[in-house]
Amino acid sequence: MPELNAESIAFRSALDVVRSVEPRIADAIAQELTDQRESLKLIASENYASPAVLLAMGNWLSDKYAEGTVGRRFYAGCQNVDIVESVAAEHAKALFGAPYAYVQPHSGIDANLVAYWAILADRVEVPYLKKFEKRQINDLTDAEWAELRQAFGNQRLLGMSLDAGGHLTHGFRPNISGKMFDQRSYGVDPATGQIDYAALLESAKEFKPAVIVGGYSAYPRKVNFAKMREIADEVGATFMVDMAHFAGLVAGGVFTGDFNPIEHAHIVTTTTHKSLRGPRGGAVFCQPELAPQVDRGCPMVLGGPLPHVMAAKAIAFAEARRPEFATYAQQIVTNSQALAEGLLKRGVQLVSGGTDNHLVLLDVHPFGITGRQAEQALLDSGIVTNRNAIPNDPNGAWYTSGIRVGTPALTSRGLGVAEMDQIADLIHTVLAATTPAEGSKAKFTLDPALADRISKQATELLAPFPLYPSVDLG
Ligand SMILES: *Cc1c(COP(=O)(O)O)cnc(C)c1O
242 catalytically annotated: yes
CA 94 to chain centre: 21
pLDDT of residue 180: 85
User: Do residue 275 and residue 410 come from a single domain?
Assistant: no
In a domain, 51, yes or no: no
Same-domain check for residues 331 and 316? no
Ligand 1 atom 15 nearest Cα: 217
Q: Which of the following is catalytic: 85, 110, 163, 242?
A: 242
Q: How does DSSP classify residue 406? A: E
Which residue type occupies 373? Q
Collapsing DSSP to helix, strand or coil, 296 comes out as coil
Q: Is the dihedral of CA 335, 341, 342, 343 positive or negative?
A: positive
Q: Cα–Cα distance between 391 and 400 in angstroms, integer?
A: 10
Does the beta carbon of 406 sit less than 6 angstroms from any atom of ligand 1?
no
Q: Are residue 407 and residue 440 in the same domain, yes or no? A: yes
- Closest atom of ligand 1 relative to the 45 alpha carbon: 1
340 plus 411 within the same structural domain: yes
Q: What sign does the CA torsion over 160, 164, 169, 175 have?
A: positive
Q: Is 244 in the pocket of ligand 1 (CB under 6 A)?
A: yes
Domain limits for position 243? 61-320
Cβ of 215 less than 6 Å from ligand 1: yes
pTM recorded for the entire structure? 0.94
Residue 382 is labelled as binding a ligand? no
Residue where one domain finishes, among candidates 275, 295, 320: 320
Do 272 and 373 have their domain in common?
A: no
Question: Is 8 inside any structural domain?
Answer: no
Pick from 217, 243, 276 the residue to mutate for probing ligand 1's pocket: most ligand atoms within 8 Å of its CB.
217
Tens-of-pLDDT digits for all 474 residues of the chain? Answer: 568 999 999 999 999 999 999 999 999 999 999 999 999 999 999 999 999 999 999 999 999 999 999 999 999 999 999 999 999 999 999 999 999 999 999 999 999 999 999 998 887 654 455 555 555 555 667 777 777 666 665 689 999 999 999 999 999 988 989 888 999 999 999 999 999 999 999 999 999 999 999 999 999 999 999 999 999 999 999 999 999 999 999 999 999 999 999 999 999 999 999 999 999 999 999 999 999 999 999 988 999 999 999 999 999 999 999 999 999 999 999 999 999 999 999 999 999 999 999 999 999 999 999 999 999 999 999 999 999 999 999 999 999 999 999 999 999 999 999 999 999 999 999 999 999 999 999 999 999 999 999 999 999 999 999 999 999 999
Q: Are residues 207 and 190 in the same domain?
A: yes
Q: What is the pLDDT of residue 126?
A: 44
Distance 271 CA to ligand 1 centre (A): 6
Q: Is the dihedral of CA 161, 163, 167, 168 positive or negative?
A: positive
